[in-house]
Amino acid sequence: MAIERTIFGSIEGQPVHRYRLGNEAGLAASVIDYGATLTELHTPDRRGRVADIVLGFDRIEDYRSSDAYMGAICGRYGNRIKEGRFSLDGRPYQLSLNEGRNHAHGGRKGFDKQIWKTQAGADGRTLIFTHRSPDGDEGYPGNLDLRVVFQLTDANELRIDMSATTDKPTIVNLVHHSYFNLAGHGSGDVLRQELKIAAEGYTPVDGELIPTGEILPVKGTAFDFSTFKPTGRDIDRVPYPFGHAANAGGYDHNLVLSGLSSAMRPVLQARDPLTGRAFDLETTEPGLQFYTGAELNDAVPGKSGARYGRFGGFALETQKYPNSPNVPSFPQPRLDPGETYRHRMVFRFYTV
């Protein structure tokens, strides 16, 4: 099945392309080279009816103006770094500040806002995105060469492989930032959709959503997804510290995943009782940022005019923990010359 390429839009005269992947079972995905962004993911329900289950936009202008990172690859450092500061080998670095006084998702012009080079695989199921981030980009040291591979398999898997190399010690924590709604994008909130997450701990946050450095057990808390439960069942019990400046409510926290870090392992199951759509997620990463979209804004129409309001989708960002460069006890994101950063996610879709 050949990969279809079309023009999605343009930025300052440079075309942005959309690539469509499909398999024999009816799964279809679209990815654009702006931000290596997953814009569509069509899957059947238990009756065979197909719907697009990721949030997004129809126009490149809306992706450029949005601060929701919908479907994008974020980095160099996905998630937050306190005051944009960290040190390597005793040398301090100051990153750009794009979330109040903190650095988030790679800065003002992170990887989500770059046009990546794209190569279609000969198998018709694979897309290879590459990008070079120069030394000093948003304050990060070292030239960083990136490679992100999307593959749609006949086993109904969407595989996302992220890798990077550097010529100078640096930090790397790439994340994929799709928002999922298993009933179909624009179908309302996701509070009745159910998750099961293999996590024994979570990292509590301060008023700016920066981890305090603690790891607390999830048992008996709103973060306990050890058995299937609706995302909204305990959402009103999610703790936020006094003075939290954002639209407090819902989940926007890092969960400490069970199992050996860096080993590929199953970490999450998601299902929608109404439609029967479901998926499993495997990853190599130690953490998962679980965000239920409390700050999604319906002022800008999504695809086909859909309105994505509060809790209109959930994001599942496998990752190193937020602010880990400044917390020695957290898994570290350091990358040295001669090493290769590797991060894999596998979504396996089915119905129940």
Kind of pairing between the strands at 252-257 and 287-291: antiparallel
Closest CA to 317 of 345, 339, 297: 345
Please, what's the b/e burial string for 56-75 (b: 16 or more CB within 10 A of its CB; e: otherwise)?
bbbebebbeebebbbbbbbb
User: Is residue 2 packed enough to be buried (19+ CB in 10 Å), middle (13-18) or exposed (0-12)?
Assistant: exposed
177 noted as active-site residue: yes
Q: CA-to-CA distance for 176 and 346, rounded, in angstroms?
A: 11
Segment (H or E) for 226? none
12 noted as active-site residue: no
SS3 content of the chain, % helix, strand, coil (to 5): 5, 45, 50
Q: CA-to-CA distance for 302 and 40, rounded, in angstroms?
A: 12
Q: Which of 103, 177, 185, 253 is catalytic?
A: 177
Closest CA to 283 of 303, 299, 269: 269
The residues assigned a catalytic role are 177, 317
